[in-house]
A and B are shown apart, each in its own frame.
Chain A
Amino acid sequence: MNALGAADTPPADRRAAEWLRREARLIRRPLLRTGLFTALLALSLVAQAWVLAAILTAGVFERASFAQLWPLCGALLVLALLRFVLNLGARRSAVHGAQQLAGALRARLLHEAQALGPLGLRGNASGDLLTRLVDGIEAVLGYFARYLPQAGAAVLVPLLLAVFIFPADWLSGLVLVLTAPLIPLFMVLVGRAAARASEQRYAQLRRLGAAFVDALGGLVTLRQLGAAERCAARLESESEAYRLLSLEVLRVAFLSSLVLEFFAMVSIAIVAVLIGFRLLWGELALHDGLFVLLLAPEFYLQLRGLGALRHTRMDAVAAAEQLATLETEAAAAPAHFAGATAVRCDRPPEIRLERVTYLHRGRGAGLHECSLTIRPAQLTALVGPSGSGKSTLLNLLLGFVAPDQGRILLDGVDLTECDVRQWRDGIAWVPQSTHVFEGTVRENLLLANGEADAAAVSRALKTSGLAAVLARLPHGEDTVLGERGVGLSGGQLQRLALARALVRERARVWLLDEPTAHLDRDGARELQASIRAAAASRTVLMAVHRLSAARAADWVVVLDGGRVVEQGPPEHLQRTGGAFSALLQAELS
């Protein structure tokens, strides 16, 4: 590895550094204020050293008593109090600025993430990335609250001190000024050498972390297969590998601080010895010598502090890289629906798809030239194998994504020109896998309809079959659902999603993705009947795996590979012996 070549810096790193610089500009004023406090602190330090040197000189040469020196001692006390205030001020303004930035950043980040849209979020960023983004703000906060002020102090304080040290003793000043730049230089050299080891360490840390999460998440399976102890042994060796790599990194990191400490200590020693001999030869006044000696450790203190915060910077750079990536992705995300045409919510609409094409992006199936009509007061079933585009079609109808070509017409009006919020307001939606929000079961239900009364909630609970589930829980509707609905099984979550949709009784459009999956036969039959009855006054589109459910529909659309391969009334399709009847035969045999 080329130790000095700046070209070694990976582009992602440079982009992260650029991002951090740009953010720093947003809090220039608090940063400048922090710098001012730091400068004042350095000046007070100089004054303090000067007074202390004067006291000591008088004490040593004149054997002056405390009483004779009280004005100087009083000045020392005043300076101590001043430093107390300045210290507080410096830290407060740094934290204040960083916090201000973090708040704005959090809002912006959320906005950007939301701009990706539900599909973009699910496709591009796993839960893991989202978690890292949330933690990323804390990492960036540490950078602005601690690292950046410290970096400022590491430049500012030695410079200011040098201004005062030189007139007192130019030789000591020379020693300090010559050695000080060596410290960052050596740190950079050693840091470069550590970079590769550090990367390996992070890779191993990720591997170790993933292995642990993997093993713990599948602990029951491991026990069931009798493989738990073998897994523990594997974790042991992974953990040991991580320790060895960590140690390798630390060895280099500590070497850099060894260099730092060594230079600091040796130059203080040189300064002390040089001052001592010139005092002996009468070339220097004791006051000046003491003044310089008192300031010498402070000269290096801020540089050392910077070294201690190096990991803060590394964390922030890693976080900034991801935040910058999100920013780029959000900027590239397709624009939202901005239409304003009012949507009538009091009667079921007719929904028509005209040659709708949606290109396959990463996850989720695409659609090709799909034309179909979902008629009001009818039950339309959407069938086809998994991956045929059923969910994509529902996402298009919900306005989560816009068609690449073709149009979706609501009573003849293009969806992209409609007020999409008003349109969604009239929809009851059952997704294939629902997200459960932190909160009680009731709170989760009321999300769909804040005005629902107890009677409406209990109707929804009964029809969805969730009532039977809640009856077995000690807290019933007040059961708290945690992260990802801990405590509910797949089938129970499905019922929750169903109940949530049913609570929105005003909805004239029902979009149901596999509503009867996970339900037992009787439950499925009851729900089918409810959907059938509801369809009399609504526009209902139901995506189903099981074709038996589709036989009760008024109209069936068969999708395969993102194309409509067949549509019509189920009895008719069954008779003609096309795709639908073939699928039905397969299921019944």
Chain B
Amino acid sequence: MSRSTVSTVRRLLSLLYPQRRWMLGGAGLALLAALAAVGLMAVSGGFIAAMALAGAAGLAINYYTPAAAIRLFAIVRSAGRYGERLITHDATLRGLSRLRVWLFRRLIPLAPARLSALRSAELFARLRADVDALEHFYLAVLVPGSVALLSTTAAALVCLALLPVAAGVLLLGVVLAGVLAPLWVQRRAASDAARFVLAGAALRGLLLDALLGQAELLAWGGVAAHSRRIEALAAELDARRSRVELFEALGSALVGLCAQLTLLGVLLFALTAVHRGRLSPPLLVLLTLLVLSCFEFIAPLTEALARWSATLTSAERVFGLAERAPPFREPRPATPVPSRPAIVFEGVGLRYEDEGPWALEDVDLTLAPGARVAVVGPSGAGKSSLIAALLKFYPVQRGRVLLGDQPLAALDGDALRRRIAVIAQQTVLFNQSLLENLLLAAPQASAEQIERAVNLAQLDAFVASLPQGYDTVLGEGAARVSGGEARRISIARALLQDAPVLVLDEPTEGLDAHTARGLYAALSSAARERTVLLITHRLSGLAQLVEEVVILADGRVRARVPVEEYLASERS
């Protein structure tokens, strides 16, 4: 096992640490149940043989003890297994539940700077599947593995007491079937298994492309070519799966073969021992059945290990994500955020990748408290990067951003963002009630405050039209809300946040002229008495919100002019 595997396994185990008592108890019960099952068969065999001998010889025999033991074993086996499964599953579910929330908490400070490559919800959904896949580690590897180990050890000890050489044969067989065969399968199947996963993901991508991009494929005449790619990849996928399955089948057939060979080996020595009078005949039967039933606990290991690398990959993906370093270390203690601050950019340079192009090259910009400024410029000029830096979502590599006289580094990110309300082009709404969505930034808001914000945002008609009013659930991806309504909701949300600084990022983009016009009044009520930073590439209808215009190009401030002057130059 490589070092990284060991450390991954250690971390997996550490997640279960709070449940260690339950897990140990569960494993103990599992062992008890396993031993009872082995004992049931072994004692039954010995009992039958002894009874037959006694019957043939006409001797009296104590049959109460073995008969009672057989019944006891039967009950212990069933009840033990029930308890074991309940306990280990509970402990595992607790562990996974903790893991999910832990992971979410780890991701919070990473967004968006360290998650930009993983932006889509699809990937996050996959991450959820990874967490679920870890269940396999505990329930299919850890518990059966330890049960197999402990129960074969116990069986070997019984053998050792009765016929030492049989213990040797048993151990040899167990190592072959329980360790070497699964490892062989895992190694032979590893590359195919890995490629199977990759081909599966690629095929999934192609199928989604075929379905979601069908209009494009039809329009551009690519349907046949795309279908051929799908067929080729599907053929590869099937071939890989077939090979993985072949090795799995070989592995489990090998375990069966090992069991039979071990049995033959034990018979060889046990028959000789009985022949020479060194072993009593009923024990021959007991040993035989003991060996046979041991392998029942070895069999699941091959399957478990066949999925081992997939489990490991899932675990590494989860831990790899959780252990990314956040872009900021929040200052402790943090300086309080000034209540009506000026915003100052001092020679700010920002880029998203170490060697990438500069999104902001050298920005000097001061917004006095209460200033109302529009930043315009072509797309790619760095407008959005300005907000990213101001909200402390991305670190700046050059210069600094100040709020009042405090550099952002000295301020706590959450406290800073509480003072800045944002109304963006894309309103993200959550699949909760309208009220919950409105209250995201201000959970304590009173009914009057909500009413006021909703009226100012001109959302009252929309609320009245909803069958359940504020309690209406907005649906997945807020499917029941139009673009204009979504933006009104975000305006009301920003009003409730009651922050001294308001950032508007293309607030009317993508809306038709009529809807956009309807929003202006709501936007101007949101902008009232606040410092306003409006980001846009087309100022036209939004001009009344601002007093000055800053022209940004290629990551630098090119000019700063009064809004009338800018509009006049635009018209000419």
Contacts and interface: CB of A to CB of B under 8 A. Distances in A.
7 contacts: A59-B267, A127-B212, A213-B124, A227-B441, A250-B85, A265-B40, A483-B205
Nearest to A438: B205
Contacts of B288: 52, 56
A474 to B, nearest CB: 7
Interface string B284-303: 11001100110000000000
B513 A83 contact: no
B268 interface: yes
Nearest to A211: B431
B271 A398 contact: no
Given A232-B108, A447-B216, A269 B221 contact: no
A185 interface: no
Given A273-B70, A435-B216, A87 B285 contact: no
Contacts of B66: 276
Interface in A194-221: 209-221
Given A218-B428, A246-B93, A272 B260 contact: no
A330 interface: no
B78 A210 contact: no
Nearest to A239: B97
B212 A293 contact: no
A60 B108 contact: no
Given A99-B241, A103-B234, A424-B219, A134 B204 contact: yes
Contact of B249 (A92, A212, A427, A546): A92
Contacts of A254: 82, 85-86, 89
A350 interface: no
A87 B48 contact: no
B331 interface: no
A540 to B, nearest CB: 16
Contact of A520 (B263, B378, B431): B378
A442 interface: no
A230 B443 contact: yes
Interface in B46-104: 47-49, 51-56, 61, 63, 66-67, 70-71, 73-75, 77-79, 81-82, 85-86, 89-90, 93-94, 97, 100-101, 104
B324 to A, nearest CB: 14
Interface string A488-513: 01111000000010001000000000
Contacts of B517: 586-587, 589
Nearest to A428: B219
A60 B253 contact: no
B270 interface: yes
Main secondary structure of the interface of B (DSSP, over half): helix
A140 interface: no
A483 B211 CA distance: 13
A149 to B, nearest CB: 12
Contacts of A25: none
A310 B123 CA distance: 29
Contacts of A96: 242
Interface residues of A, number: 153
Interface in B358-400: 377-380, 391, 393
A246 B483 CA distance: 38
Interface string A395-409: 000111000000000
B195 to A, nearest CB: 16
Contact of B212 (A73, A121, A279): A121
Contact of A87 (B63, B241, B253, B417): B253
A95 B245 contact: yes
Given A130-B211, A213-B121, A276-B51, 8 more contacts: A55-B267, A95-B249, A127-B208, A273-B47, A297-B293, A386-B483, A438-B205, A486-B120
B512 interface: yes
A214 B128 CA distance: 12
A582 to B, nearest CB: 10
B248 to A, nearest CB: 8
Contacts of A368: none
Contacts of B37: 265
B208 A134 contact: yes
Interface stretch (A1-9, A61-69, A529-537): A61-69
Interface stretch (A256-264, A455-463, A551-559): A256-264
Interface string A261-305: 110011011001101110111100010011001100100000000
B221 A421 contact: yes
Contacts of A417: none
- Most chain-A CB neighbours within 10 Å: which of B205, B208, B281, B476? B208
A112 to B, nearest CB: 11
A145 B44 CA distance: 36
Nearest to B496: A225
Contacts of A76: 260, 263-264, 267
A217 B111 contact: no
B527 to A, nearest CB: 18
A279 B111 CA distance: 75
B48 A435 contact: no
Given A269-B44, A447-B222, A84 B256 contact: yes
Interface in B430-473: 430-431, 440-441, 443
Contacts of B422: 224
Nearest to A56: B285
Contacts of A448: 220
B144 to A, nearest CB: 12
B126 to A, nearest CB: 10
Contacts of A398: 215, 218-219
A80 interface: yes
Contact of A224 (B41, B70, B289, B391): B391
Contact of B111 (A125, A219, A436): A219
Contacts of B253: 83-85, 87-88, 91
Minimum-distance CB pairs A-B, first 7: A80-B260, A118-B215, A435-B213, A272-B44, A216-B124, A217-B121, A286-B52
B219 A434 contact: no
Contact of B101 (A225, A232, A583): A232
Contacts of A250: 85-86, 89
A247 B93 contact: yes
B562 interface: no
A583 B211 contact: no
B274 interface: yes
B464 to A, nearest CB: 21
B171 to A, nearest CB: 19
B391 A431 contact: no
A265 B293 CA distance: 13
Nearest to A584: B513
B191 interface: no
B117 to A, nearest CB: 8
Contacts of A282: 55-56
Contacts of A223: 108, 111, 393, 413-414, 417
Interface in B411-426: 413-414, 417-418, 422, 425-426
A235 B245 contact: no
Given A226-B414, A435-B213, A261 B221 contact: no
- Most chain-B CB neighbours within 10 Å: which of A126, A131, A220, A386? A220
Given A293-B48, A424-B219, A225 B441 contact: yes
B51 A277 contact: yes
A424 B204 CA distance: 27
A434 B216 contact: yes
Contacts of B234: 103, 106
Contact of A60 (B230, B261, B281, B356): B281
A91 B249 CA distance: 6
B147 to A, nearest CB: 15
Interface string B190-217: 0000000000001011111111111111
A230 B47 CA distance: 64
Interface string A316-347: 00000000000000000000000000000000
A159 interface: no
B354 to A, nearest CB: 11
B185 to A, nearest CB: 13
Contacts of B356: 474
